[in-house]
Structure 1
């Protein structure tokens, strides 16, 4: 098997990495924090100009027509630089579902402006008290000319800036689910700012009998709804970001322990420190491998459910171990809010708990294995 990246993939990865490493620096992100801002939209605009945001969008709509495996390497770079850009929201939650399941009219209406950086897209997949995004409690009722949707979504990132939010809902009078493109400024929609441990701006989204036209239904409603496909790609994207974050945290830990002396010798020479970092290295490599496997299966349109949930398990379980180890070997520096490692920890925790933590992924896998052997 040939695992060599194509020249196009290498060019996209290197371009995204160059932009993010140049601009997502601790000093720059610290300046954003002092200004009361989190999203680094100036850097995101650079990614737009470079064609990174439109990478998976078809060429006739202004994009590059690349696949999900190419996007995987960009998301690794986002994690490796702990960049505060809405790439996961715009591309994985917004552009990709439209490319895979949107009608030509929906694609033409929403994607060119996204590729040009004039608009943002995101999705509302999580609900208060619910651990399974595939079983939403938000309900959608068919009307004569569309749908009426009611319910509450939580942890919706980028909602105030988005032109449309992809809302997952349960069909009220029938089986299955439906995905609706909702205007966050529309009648019946309210957004409430939420505070998160990750610092990533999120909103609680309340929908009270919100009218959605028939032309704003993504794919089909019912048992053939594309919700599972959207959740799989979103989870795999998080796993890719987590692998990049964990690799960054490990490099910071290796650099710090190599240059910090204790009892007259570098910390990295102590056996206990070496063992912790060696275990973290194995975890990082496992995260890279499983996220790549998930991305490859999704890109090839193969059955990827197990691969994605395994990758998401490693993203949460191993990601937690890696950032905890990095903080531990740093000592007091590890919890300094002005030090870069703190951002790694916060992003790793955001990935861990978004769309299901590690134990939830194991339950899904175990339940499916039990059904197969029953």
Structure 2
């Protein structure tokens, strides 16, 4: 295994770091409220950081999502890249790729994913979808939604006729919505194995996003305890604070390395379903520990809902919920290992 980024991946990551660092500021996040930042999305697309994902691979996307997570930038980056660009690049027909990939790259088309529990959405023989998905992240920003039906077939449906959106507020400001499908027309995407690949890719990508969220939370906490004095000494000199921060650092690195491994294996054409579940488990279990630590180490400031570290806390908890609770992920991982998958 070699997780060393290629030159193209490194350049894209550095550019993403500059864009997010310059534009995803505390003031812009406050102005966005619980919605997204459409101007930042336009900048990302114009800079080529969306369209490049098809060439950079899943590992490249994970590197870019880390940078988004550090600043909790409110754009549908992970959703549109993993459920749109990577899904279409891997499983779309030539006609679908020619028609949709350019629009996804320039941001005029945004795809999100609705992967409900089995039985929630049914597809007719002619490809009309019926069912309800209570929560879909970034649905209010999307033009299309990738849906899995009762048989785990994938369908790409445009929002509009037969596909209605009702706003839903989540722990984090993810522009989420409730998706109601009533005979919505859709086109099939991929064949056997497409569902498993897209699901594993999404788990890996959102684990990478969590690595960035945790790194950003920890960086803020370290800066705070280094500058905050109590009884004439910086808080950072106290052993309890050092140990807590060290544990958070190790948790963050565990999330990062497991996400890198899963992404690298997909890009190398190797089986990676169990590795994606491992990354998701670390992101879920360790992620919520890290963002709690980040808030705790800020003391009273961490309780301020308007403090930047609180956004990392909200994102960390939302990603924990979105990826699935630890015991459920471990149960699924155990079943895959038992069946030799």
Is this a same-fold pair by TM over 0.5?
yes
- Alignment-derived partner of residue 76 in structure 1: 66
- Alignment-derived partner of residue 317 in structure 1: 285
SS in 2 for 1:155: strand
SS in 1 for 2:56: coil
Please list, as runs of the form range in 1=range in 2, the aligned pairs for 1:1-374 lying within 5 A after superposition: 3-33=3-33, 38-57=35-54, 65-126=55-116, 130=117, 135-142=118-125, 146-170=126-150, 176-186=151-161, 188-212=162-186, 216-220=187-191, 224-372=192-340
After the TM superposition, which segments of 4 or more aligned residues of structure 1 sit over 4 Å from their partners? none
Question: How many residues get paired?
Answer: 341
Q: Which digits, 9 at most, give the CA deviation of each residue in 1:292-324, with x for residues without a partner? A: 111111111211011111111110111111111
Gaps of 5+ in 2: none
Conserved? CA contact 2:69–2:213, under 8 Å: yes
Quote the offset at 1:12 in angstroms.
0.7
Distance 2:144 2:291 in 1: 34
Gaps of 5+ in 1: 58-64, 171-175
SS in 2 for 1:206: strand
Report the TM-score when normalising by structure 2: 0.95
Distance 1:340 1:112 in 2: 35
More helix as a share of residues? 2
Quote the offset at 1:253 in angstroms.
0.8
Asked which structure has the greater RCO (Cα within 8 Å, sep 6+), the reply is 2
Compared CA separation, residues 5 and 278, structure 1 to 2 (3 A): same
Report the TM-score when normalising by structure 1: 0.87
Distance 1:110 1:251 in 2: 38
- Of structures 1 and 2, the larger Rg is shown by 1
Distance 1:355 1:202 in 2: 15
